[in-house]
Structure 1
Amino acid sequence: MDESVVVSPDWLASRLDDPAVCIVDVRDAWEFDGIGHVPGAVSIPFDSYRDESDVDRGTLPGADAFATLLGDAGISPDDTIVAYDDTHGVFAARFVLTAIEYGHDDVRLLDGDYSAWNQEHETTSETPETEPVDYEADPLEPDESPLVGYDAVEAALERDAVLVDTREREEFEETRLPGAVRFDWRGVIDDETRRLKPEAELEALLADRGITPDREIVLYCNTARRISHTYVVLKALGYEDVAFYEGSLSEWLANDGETESGPASAE
């Protein structure tokens, strides 16, 4: 796995004293304070980097709001950020995607989650002292961003793109984008270790669904949370042509986009 995208607990443990590595805990504040956290981590709860005017879709918070969050946490644009949660990384992956979109150059996902870290490494209840900084976001230009909208997805349907639905089977069978294949985002997780499965096993799982590095891939779910995890995993495996449908099924249905339902042959 590409360590510039996903890092192991051992990688992070060896850098706890590095001031240029900023650890972000995206769990609820009560978990950060009451259960404990990775030493040196700062708390930026998941709800704080969602668009409060549109929370049902979980959309991006806006560049200025996100910059304020990072600056208040003492994070600078040049820092290496490592994010984690305690839900197999799905909420932390959303943070990673958000930071990428707003131009942070070095942001990574911790392989596993707090429970995985806690199996072998120390935790603490001490809140680190941080000094706020001025953080200026530098959002990606549209042609650089992995995020795509309704029109781009419509166009992808006309090409040989693989539309990947990361939701559960019941959701997929109820309604989905035309021709989509289902790849449950949790399928990449080893239940025992709570970490990602071995790289070769991940590649085989993806290839079984036709999700291969030579294809154009468009990811969607309901509100763009679950696809964040799949996006990070694909990038860590070296996939290059991966689009992230931010509006996901919520926007697709609002625009009366064509859908399918029922079991699919790939299932």
Structure 2
Amino acid sequence: MDESVVVSPDWLASRLDDPTVRVVDVRDAWEYDGIGHLPGAVTVPFDSYRDESDVDRGTLPGADAFADLLGQAGIDEGDTIVAYDDTHGVFAARFVLTAIEYGHEDVRLLDGDYSAWNREHETTSDEPDVEPTEYEADPLDPNESPLVDREAVEDALERNAVFVDTREKDEFEEARLPGAVRFDWREVVDDETRRLKPEDDLEALLEEHGITRDREIVLYCNTARRISHTYVVLTALGYENVRFYEGSLTDWLAADGEIETGPVASE
């Protein structure tokens, strides 16, 4: 697993004294305050970097709004950011994807979540002293971004792309993109450890679903949260031809895109 994308609790624990490693807690503020958090972590709640009002742009908050959030959290452009939540990493992965899209070069997901960390490492209720910065976002060029719009998705449907639906079974059967395969994002997580399954197991699991390195992969869910986790995992495994449909099924249905319904034989 590529440590420039996903890091273990031990990796992070050994670097907590490094001032350029910034830990971001994306849980609700009451969890950060009332339950505790990782030492040195700053709070950037999930709903603060998600705009539910702009369907055309998906749910990204906008470059200026995101830069303000990171500046208020005392983060510099050159810092190494490690994000975590307490939901197997799905909300933290959305933060990772957002930071990548707005040009932060070194942002990583903590393997596991708060509960996994808490089993072997100390937590605290002390808030760190934060000195705000003048963070400047540098959004990716559209040609370099993994995000694709509806037109690009329509084009990919004409090719041999594999469309990966990361939602639950009932959602998949209610409506899905034509030819999509269902790959519940939680399948990559070990229920006991709350961390990602071993790399060999992940590779085998992906292959079972037809998700292989030689294929163009397009991810979608409903509002681009769950695919963030799958995107980070695939990136950490070295998959290169992965696209991220930011508008996801919400955007597709709004445009009356073609869908399939009902169960499939493999389900």
Q: Which residue of 2 aligns with 1:192?
A: 192
Q: Distance in 2 between matches of 1:218 and 1:53?
A: 24
- Structure-1 residue corresponding to 2:150: 150
Q: Which whole-Å CA distance do the structure 1 matches of 2:25 and 2:8 have between them?
A: 15
* SS of alignment partner, residue 133 of structure 2: coil
* Contact 1:181-1:266 within 8 A present in 2 as well: no
Partner of 2:132: 132
**What CA distance in whole angstroms lies between the structure 2 residues aligned with 1:247 and 1:206?**
23
Could you list the per-position Cα deviations for residues 236-258 of structure 1 after superposition, in whole angstroms to 9, with x for gaps in the alignment? 00000000000000000001100
Distance 1:34 1:58, change over 3 A: farther
Contact kept, 8 Å, 1:83 with 1:108, in 2: the verdict is yes
Partner residue, 2:178: 178
Do the aligned residues in 1 keep the contact of 2:53 with 2:59 (CA within 8 Å)?
no
Corresponding residue for 1:112?
112
Query: Alpha-carbon deviation of 1:266?
Result: 3.1
Cα pair 1:99 1:107 within 8 Å, conserved: yes
- In the other structure, the counterpart of 2:237 is 237
Residue matched to 2:91 = 91
SS of residue in 2 equivalent to 1:83: strand
Question: Superposed, which structure 2 residues align to 1:4-43 within 5 Å?
Answer: 4-43=4-43
Q: What TM-score does the superposition give when structure 2 sets the normalisation length?
A: 0.98
Q: 1:8 to 1:151 in 2, by over 3 A?
A: same
* Cα drift, residue 51 of structure 1: 1.2
**Mapped partners of 1:52, 1:59: distance in 2:** 5
* Equivalent position SS for 2:119: helix
Distance in 2 of aligned mates of 1:205 and 1:53: 35
Aligned partners of 2:129 and 2:4: how far apart in 1?
27
Cα RMSD for the two superposed structures = 1.1
TM-score, length-normalised on structure 1?
Answer: 0.98
The alpha-carbon deviation at position 52 of structure 1 amounts to 5.1
Q: Is the 8 A contact 1:209 1:266 kept in 2?
A: no
State the distance in 1 between where 2:69 and 2:240 align.
29
The separation in 1 between residues aligned to 2:187 and 2:198, in whole angstroms, is 12
1-structure distance, mates of 2:58, 2:39: 29
Structure 1, unpaired ranges of 5+: none
Counterpart of 1:120 in 2: which secondary structure? coil
- 1:169-193 deviations in Å (ceiling 9; x for gaps): 0000111000000000000000000
The answer on 1:209 being equivalent to 2:209 is yes
Conserved? CA contact 1:50–1:58, under 8 Å: no
Deviations along 1:15-66, whole A, 9 cap, x unmatched?
00000100000000000000000000000000000115349x9700000000
Query: Could you tell which deviates more after superposition, 43-52 or 135-144?
Result: 43-52
Provide the identity percentage: 81
* AA of the residue aligned to 2:199: E
Amino acid in the other structure paired with 1:147: L
Change (3 A) 1:52 1:181: closer
d(CA) in 1 for partners of 2:53, 2:67: 18
Distance 2:223 2:119 in 1: 31
Letter in 2 for 1:173: E
Mapped partners of 2:52, 2:252: distance in 1: 21
Task: Determine the C-alpha separation between the residues in 2 that align with 1:135 and 1:232.
Answer: 24
Cα distance between partner residues in 2 of 1:204 and 1:225 = 24
